[in-house]
Amino acid sequence: MKALARVAQARGEPQISKVTVIQPRRVRKIAGALASYAGMTLLAAVFLFPLAFEFVGSIKPNDRVLAEGSSWRAFVPTSITFQNYAEAISRADLGHLFMNSVIITSSIVVGGLVVNSFFGYALARLPFRGRGLFVGIVIALIIIPFQALAVPLFFIMAQVQWLDTYQVQIVPFVASPFFTYLFYTFFLSIPKELIESARVDGAGPFTTFWRVVVPLARPVYATVAILSFLFAWGQLLWPVLVTRGPDVRPLTLGIAEFQNLPPIRWGDIMAVATIMTLPLLVIFVGFQDAFVRSVARTGIKG
Amino acid sequence: MISSPTQYLKTRINQDSVAPWLFSLPGILLLLAFLVTPFLLAVTYSFTNLRLLSPIPLRFVGLENYVETLQDPIFYRALANMLLFVVIVVPVQTGLALTLAILVNQKLFAVKAFRTIYFAPVLSVMAVAAVVWRILYVPDGGFINGFLGAVSGGALHPLWLHSTSTALLAIIIMSVWQGVGFQMIVLLAGLQDIPEDLYEAANIDGANRWHQFRFVTVPQLRNSLLFVVTITTIFAFGLFDQVYVMTRGGPLNSTQTLMLTLVDVGYGRQRIGQASAIAVIFFVIVLAINIAQRLLIREEEA
């Protein structure tokens, strides 16, 4: 304000009019910000209450979760216990399920990053016969939803005796036309001259890819990693079909079964839910900015 | 190691002609094995009486599976539920996602915290969120009815998942809650790509807030919106996780979905041929909607 007043003075403009022009605009701006905050806070409450209920429920004595479930007390830890966690971990064999989910998810994410980025790079920057056709096929394949394949694929997996294994939950999901396409469009945006100059310097295709292309493509790797992680970690339909026993079962199916396992104890169920949710939340808070930026740069927006 | 220039050139040429295939082959083979083959088999199986384990000899049955599916009242119930789900969820979720994206795109203090909060349900995994919401929806003792009862003075007391008239609505509400954060991020990335000077130009031309939204924001976001609408539609048709956890299609098929029918027929009753027919029908519907959406958008563009 002071600075503005000084500028006005220097220009020889009457100060009063400047102030009267600025004042209502500032008021409007502050009012707008307040309205935004009010709206955002209200929405935040709607988005948070189920999660708050879940976290608080997990540290409450089991019998209070539903007893206090219908009032504001649902969100207040009236007394704190970790009994639910101890029970859930032993009753649901949580450590084992958690390891299964980690093995399956990390294999899909890492394998997918390698396979899809290699394929995307070949389609974008390595000339070979039939490349255009392959690009067309990959784009066409994006539209086939996995659900439409689930039953025939399940039948094939049963034929080759892959049911109840880790690989049946990993190998079919490594290659993805959608992720290949994301890599492909991103690699197209890398200037050809960069790749050419690396080649002139004597680097082969693999060295060029590894030293020049991959470092430039971090945003798309980050986006694909996060999206494939969310997808793999959350899968339910496929494990329902291909796992019969708890040996290789992931957490998602574990919790779906556990919620109906007598004796039904809501505190335990909330503990399992929290164990599945909290790690992802913590990771995301750390990566949030990178994620938003990389989605923007990847071209998911079309 | 490389003794002469000619040999150097030779290895170079070999590398250049082999490398594209080395880069592409893992992707091509995996897509062939786990996407193209099951898709073609689904079409083939749909004309047979194939079962998972059966002494009945395999035979070609023509359109029998399709006829049987198209005469099944449960199939129509599932289809009607899906259509209702899509017709409500797609516009509501897209509109809400756009509102959230615009809110969190403002340059305000702590706006990132709100962004994280709105995205948090996406990280909570559908199967887990469904378990938690099942408790929130408990008619007597659940928080949602506790809240409704308090604000309406006891007038409102829906049975949610236990009533044929509200079960699908309950699933719709929790689905929007869980999914909207992802759409918000995609639209936010799109918003951040809109050049600032377009708004300034509009401002100079005397455009008000609404005009800026209508004539700058929406046209600039067009690709992001198209992406969001398409993805939401395909996901909506594949509805499975939350229904499997919360209602298994009940009460009285009021939340029956195509995917539940598919799993019931193909896995529960082990009728692979029949399930493949449902999968093919499912695919055709998704394809048709996708094409229709694209045509509509293009029409508008012209």
CB pairs under 8 A between A and B: 298
Picking from B77-91, B119-133, B138-152, B197-211, which range would have the lowest pLDDT averaged per residue?
A: B197-211
Q: Do B103 and A39 touch (CB under 8 A)?
A: yes
In this prediction, residues A226-232 reach a mean pLDDT of 89
**Would you say A183 and A120 are in contact if contact means Cβ atoms under 8 Å apart?**
yes
**DSSP per-residue letters across B60-126:** B-TTHHHHHHHT-HHHHHHHHHHHHHHHHHHHHHHHHHHHHHHHHTS--TTHHHHHHHHHHHHHT-H
Which residues from chain B sit within 8 angstroms of residue A151, using beta carbons?
A: 42, 262-263, 266-267, 272, 275-276, 279
Which residues from chain A sit within 8 angstroms of residue B222, using beta carbons?
A: 302
Does the pLDDT value for residue B3 go beyond 70?
A: no
In this prediction, residues A186-195 reach a mean pLDDT of 88
pTM of the predicted structure, to 2 decimals: 0.86
Domain annotation for chain A: domains and CATH numbers? 2-81 (no CATH), 93-298 (1.10.3720.10)
Looking at residue B44, its pLDDT comes to 93
Closest chain B CA to residue A209:
B23
Looking at residue A78, its pLDDT comes to 81
Q: Do B279 and A40 touch (CB under 8 A)?
A: no
Q: Do A147 and B259 touch (CB under 8 A)?
A: yes
A1 pLDDT band (50/70/90 cuts)? very low
Interchain contact B19–A (C-beta under 8 A): yes
The token duo for A34 is: 């307040």
In this prediction, residues B110-127 reach a mean pLDDT of 89
Looking at residue B26, its pLDDT comes to 95
In this prediction, residues B240-268 reach a mean pLDDT of 91
**Would you say B119 and B179 are in contact if contact means Cβ atoms under 8 Å apart?**
no
Quick check: ipTM above 0.95? Answer: no
- Nearest C-alpha of chain A: how many angstroms from B127? 6
Among residues A249, A252, A243, A256, which one has the least CA distance to residue A277? A252
Q: Percent of chain B, pLDDT > 90?
A: 49
Q: Average pLDDT of chain B?
A: 88
Among residues A272, A255, A279, A49, which one has the least CA distance to residue B127? A255
Picking from A10-14, B150-154, B270-274, which range would have the lowest pLDDT averaged per residue?
A: A10-14
Among residues A52, A89, A235, which one has the least CA distance to residue B135? A52
Q: Do B286 and A145 touch (CB under 8 A)?
A: yes
Interchain contact B21–A (C-beta under 8 A): yes
Which residues from chain A sit within 8 angstroms of residue B131, using beta carbons?
A: 255-256, 259, 269, 273
Looking at residue A8, its pLDDT comes to 47
Interchain contact B267–A (C-beta under 8 A): yes
Q: Which of A51, A177, A296 sits opposite B31 (nearest CB)?
A: A177
C-alpha torsion sign, points A12, A15, A17, A21: positive
pLDDT (tens digit, 9 = 90+) per residue, B59-89? 899 899 999 999 999 999 999 999 999 999 9
Q: How far is CA A86 from CA A93, A257, A269, in A?
A: 11, 18, 12
Fold of B66-301: MetI-like fold (1.10.3720)
In this prediction, residues B129-141 reach a mean pLDDT of 92
- Nearest C-alpha of chain B: how many angstroms from A41? 8
Q: Do B263 and A204 touch (CB under 8 A)?
A: no
pLDDT (tens digit, 9 = 90+) per residue, A152-163? 899 999 999 999
Q: Percent of chain A, pLDDT > 70?
A: 90
User: Ramachandran region of residue B140, left (φ > 0), alpha (ψ -120 to 50) or beta?
Assistant: beta
Q: Which of B30, B114, B128 sits opposite A174 (nearest CB)?
A: B30
Identify the residue with better confidence: A286 or B169: B169
In this prediction, residues A190-218 reach a mean pLDDT of 87
Cα–Cα distance measured from residue B218 to residue B197, given in angstroms and rounded to the nearest whole number: 16
CA triple A242-A245-A248, angle to 5 deg: 70
Which residues from chain B sit within 8 angstroms of residue A33, using beta carbons?
A: 106, 108
Cα–Cα distance measured from residue A232 to residue A169, given in angstroms and rounded to the nearest whole number: 9
Torsions phi, psi for B56 (to 5 deg): -65, 130
CA triple B163-B248-B256, angle to 5 deg: 75
Q: Is B48 helix (H, G, I), strand (E, B) or coil?
A: strand
Q: Do B143 and A145 touch (CB under 8 A)?
A: no
Q: Average pLDDT of chain A?
A: 85
**Would you say A154 and B268 are in contact if contact means Cβ atoms under 8 Å apart?**
no
Looking at residue B136, its pLDDT comes to 93
Among residues A184, A197, A40, A68, which one has the least CA distance to residue A116? A184
Looking at residue B276, its pLDDT comes to 94
In this prediction, residues B221-235 reach a mean pLDDT of 85
Does the pLDDT value for residue A201 go beyond 90?
A: no
- Nearest C-alpha of chain A: how many angstroms from B165? 22
Looking at residue A48, its pLDDT comes to 94
B5 pLDDT band (50/70/90 cuts)? low
Identify the residue with better confidence: A139 or A301: A139
In this prediction, residues B283-297 reach a mean pLDDT of 84
Does the pLDDT value for residue A199 go beyond 50?
A: yes
pLDDT (tens digit, 9 = 90+) per residue, B10-57? 666 667 788 889 999 999 999 999 999 999 999 999 999 988 877 778
Among residues A51, A8, A42, which one has the least CA distance to residue A276? A51
Which residues from chain A sit within 8 angstroms of residue B267, using beta carbons?
A: 151, 154, 240-241
In this prediction, residues A52-61 reach a mean pLDDT of 91
Interchain contact B92–A (C-beta under 8 A): no
Alpha carbon B39 to its chain centroid, in Å, reads 19
Q: Do B272 and A300 touch (CB under 8 A)?
A: no
Q: Which of A49, A54, A122 sits opposite B20 (nearest CB)?
A: A122
In this prediction, residues B80-107 reach a mean pLDDT of 93
